Amino acid sequence: MRKLGVFNHISLDGYFVDKNNQMSWAKAHQDEEWNSFVAENAKGGGELVFGRVTYEMMAGFWPTPTAHQMMPVVAERMNNLPKIVFSRTLDKATWNNTKLIKGSLVEEVRKLKEESGDDMVIMGSGTIIAQLAPAHLIDSYQFVVNPIVLGDGRTMFQDLRDQLNFSLKESRAFGNGNVVLTYEAS
């Protein structure tokens, strides 16, 4: 059975997007140590999972010359790894190696997890996380806690009604103030 994980940046006050639905603040704390970690993490492989909003943002950046110049290893991986986008409004997914799924998110993810193949990771896509977490379909969470307070925004667990429990598996602090916390769902 395939595993499904999450990789997302969050602020100290728990938001993954700011009040304008932006994530650009997550790029503010970059240095050599952090960029090395990001490049190494990108080599992990797997299948990337997005909702429409995050997909459009990623597809608009990673194939560009700017992305290749700034982060060549990450750009190569993002462009070549298999990707899934869940959307009821997109007509087609044009980013290299992307499959568009329009069906029921929870049912489709259950099917995907039963298939053989590489593990999957959700990036961004808080709406998807908010739907899959209470269905207990997410196996692990990797949060990058950024040293910033946004004051307002949206959490990944927006409108969650039931308590979810996690077990800390790993933590790592970086000189730029970022802290990576890796949890497994209990």
Distances (CA, A) of 128 to 4, 108, 147: 12, 12, 25
User: Residue 182: which residues within 8 A CB-CB, separation 6 or more?
Assistant: 140, 141, 142, 143, 168, 169, 170, 171
Q: What is the pTM for the complete model shown?
A: 0.91
Domains and CATH numbers, the chain: 4-185 (3.40.430.10)
φ, ψ (nearest 5 deg) of residue 170? -165, 150
Residue 125, Cβ density class (10 Å: 0-12 exposed, 13-18 middle, ≥19 buried): buried
**CA–CA separation, 68 vs 105, rounded Å?**
32
Q: Is 80 helix (H, G, I), strand (E, B) or coil?
A: helix
pLDDT at 94: 95
Assess contact for 144 and 10: CB atoms under 8 A. yes
Q: Give average pLDDT by consecutive 10-residue segment, the chain, 186 residues.
A: 95 94 84 86 85 94 94 91 96 96 95 95 92 95 96 91 94 96 94
pLDDT digits (tens, 9 = 90+) for 77-119: 999 999 999 999 999 999 999 999 998 999 999 999 999 999 9
